[in-house]
A and B are shown apart, each in its own frame.
Chain A
Amino acid sequence: MPTVIDNTRPKSDARSAVSAAARAKGKGGPEGQLYKPRQPIYPKLVHGKWRAVKWALLIFTLAVYYITPWIRWHRPDGFPQQAALVDFTGRRFYFFDIQLWPQEVYIFTGLLVMAALALFLVTALFGRLWCGYACPQTVWTDLYIVVERLFEGDRNARMRLDAAPLSFDKIWRKTGKHLVWLGIAFGTGGAWIFYFHDAPNLIRTFWTGDAPITAYASCFLLTCTTYIFAGWMREQVCTYMCPWPRIQGAMLDDHSLQVTYLAYRGETRGPHKKGQSWEGRGDCIDCHQCVVVCPMGIDIRDGAQMECINCGLCVDACDEMMIKVGRPTGLIAYDSDYVVAARSKGEKAVYKPIRSRTIYYALAMSVVGGLTLWSLVTRPKADLSVIRDRNPIFVRMHDGAVRDGYTLKIGNRTFEPRTFDITFEGVPGARLSQPGQTGRTVSVVVPADQVAPLRVFVTAPPDLEGERPASVPGRFVIRSGDVRAETKTVFLSGAANPQ
Chain B
Amino acid sequence: MAHEKDTDEVTGVDTTGHEWDGIKELDNPLPRWWLWVWYASIAWSIGYWILMPAWPGIHGYTKGLLHQSDRVEVSKQLTALDIKRGEGAAQLRTASLEQIEKDPKLNAYAQQVGQSVFGDNCATCHGIGGTGGKGYANLRDDVWLWGGKLEDIQYTITHGVRTGADGARMSMMPAFGRDEMLQPAQIDDLTEYVVKLSNRPADAAAVARAQPLFEAQCSACHGVEGKGMVELGAPNLTDADWLYGADRTAIRGQIFSGNGGVMPTWQGRLSPETIKALAVYIHSNAGGQ
Contacts and interface: CB of A to CB of B under 8 A. Distances in A.
A238 to B, nearest CB: 12
B101 A35 contact: no
A433 B287 contact: yes
B129 A240 contact: no
Contacts of B14: 30-32
Given A392-B131, A405-B285, A398 B30 contact: no
Contacts of B80: none
Interface string A205-235: 0000000000000000000000000001100
B30 A396 contact: no
Contacts of B129: 389, 391-392
A398 B239 contact: yes
Contacts of A391: 127-129, 131
B22 interface: no
B141 interface: yes
A77 B246 CA distance: 60
B142 A397 contact: yes
A236 B33 CA distance: 9
Best-surrounded residue of A236, A392, A457 (most CB of chain B within 10 A): A392
A395 interface: yes
Given A16-B11, A33-B29, A233-B33, A435 B101 contact: yes
A307 B239 CA distance: 84
Interface in B79-102: 101
Contacts of B27: 31-32
Contact of A392 (B101, B140, B198): B140
Nearest to B35: A35
Contacts of B143: 397-398
B197 to A, nearest CB: 12
A194 to B, nearest CB: 30
Contacts of A462: 240
Contact of A38 (B11, B32, B240, B241): B32
A399 interface: yes
B79 to A, nearest CB: 22
A395 B141 contact: yes
B28 interface: yes
Interface of B is mostly: loop
A499 B29 contact: no
A43 to B, nearest CB: 19
B59 interface: no
Nearest to A433: B287
A498 interface: yes
A149 interface: no
A462 B30 CA distance: 79
A457 B283 CA distance: 13
B239 A399 contact: yes
Interface string B254-289: 000000000000000000000000000000110110
A430 B119 CA distance: 31
Contacts of B285: 405, 455
B154 interface: no
B200 interface: yes
Contacts of A396: 141, 240-241
Given A395-B131, A433-B287, A457-B287, A400 B32 contact: no
Contacts of A30: 5, 14
Contact of B31 (A19, A35, A400, A436): A35
Contacts of A37: 32
A403 interface: yes
A34 interface: yes
B138 A19 contact: no
Nearest to B108: A453
A33 B128 CA distance: 69
A36 interface: yes
A400 B240 contact: yes
B200 to A, nearest CB: 6
A36 B28 contact: yes
Contacts of B128: 391
A397 B240 CA distance: 7
Given A16-B12, A399-B239, A35 B287 contact: no
Contacts of B287: 403, 433, 435, 457
Interface string A363-387: 0000000000000000000000000
Interface in B189-238: 198, 200, 236
B235 to A, nearest CB: 10
A35 B198 contact: no
Nearest to A400: B240
Nearest to A237: B33
B44 interface: no
A90 B236 CA distance: 52
A462 B14 CA distance: 87
Contacts of A34: 29-30, 35
B61 interface: no
Contacts of A497: 240
B245 to A, nearest CB: 10
A128 B285 CA distance: 63
Interface string B100-125: 01001000100000000000000000
A398 B31 contact: no
A100 B28 CA distance: 48
B29 A35 contact: yes
Interface in A482-499: 497-499
B29 A32 contact: yes
Contacts of A403: 141, 287
Best-surrounded residue of B108, B246, B288 (most CB of chain A within 10 A): B288
Best-surrounded residue of A31, A34, A433 (most CB of chain B within 10 A): A31
B34 interface: yes
Contacts of A38: 31-33
B284 A435 contact: yes
A24 to B, nearest CB: 13
A498 B288 contact: no
B29 A36 contact: yes
Contact of A240 (B31, B35, B140): B31
Contacts of A19: 13, 29
B239 A36 contact: no
A453 B143 CA distance: 26
Given A30-B14, A400-B240, 8 more contacts: A35-B31, A35-B35, A36-B28, A389-B129, A391-B129, A392-B130, A396-B240, A398-B142
A-B pairs, 3 with minimum CB distance:
A391-B129, A398-B239, A36-B29
6 contacts: A31-B27, A395-B140, A397-B142, A397-B241, A435-B288, A436-B288
